[in-house]
Amino acid sequence: MKKYKEVTLGSEAVVYIKDILKYGNTISKYLLQSYDFEKGKVVTYLPYDINNEDARHFKVGGKIKSPAEYENSFPIPIAYLMNSIKLFLKGGESRLCIFEDVTSKPKDPRISSKDDRIYIYGDEIYYALFGEDAENNEKIHDTIWDSDSHWHFVCIMTSLSKKSFYLRNNKNLNANELKMLVEGTERVAIGAYDGEGYLIWTRC
């Protein structure tokens, strides 16, 4: 198996993240308004033989060679993101991860009102994972898959305050409630490398 490494990225990664968020839905726009992404750390996870110059080409794929290598039955870049999500969710009952789905609408046939992951804001769809989902590998993987449009993937790792804790059970959001979800953001995962990998920004 080819070895992988965590790569710490610089200001060029921040430029890329902000560019991706510009084309997202409302939660992406709130992130841009709320956070100075220069005040944070950005990392990714790539094969050991990828040099730093190639690692900075965030829009270019081909870094993960076929056939894909797996860890615990999942492609390694997805397994890396899944592990980051799991560790975050285990940090407390107030924690949750919100995934932006830029291609789906509430009336789409594949969107079920019985799906306990779904948040709705106007005509936008978001998925949520909570602490009790931390050990559910299939649910985490499926949520990444359902929200990833190949050209756009955004996941925020955030926490609810006492004031906003009721949002765990309130699936139809207004603008202020969506902002409350963004306010506790500690990390943001962004799709990169033509859908082959992810960047993870951590707030400092």
pLDDT at 66: 67
Contact 95, 164 (CB under 8 A): no
Q: Please say if the pLDDT value at position 127 is more than 90.
A: yes
pLDDT at 67: 63
Higher pLDDT, 102 or 72: 102
Token output for 19: 């560019």
Instruction: Identify the band that residue 65 occupies on the pLDDT scale cut at 50, 70 and 90.
Output: confident
Mean pLDDT of 189-199: 96
How high does pLDDT run on average in the chain?
93
Peptide bond preceding 67: is omega within 30 degrees of 0, i.e. cis?
Answer: yes
Q: Please say if the pLDDT value at position 131 is more than 80.
A: yes
pLDDT at 2: 64
- Flag whether the pTM goes above 0.75: yes
Mean pLDDT of 39-55: 95
Contact 192, 150 (CB under 8 A): no
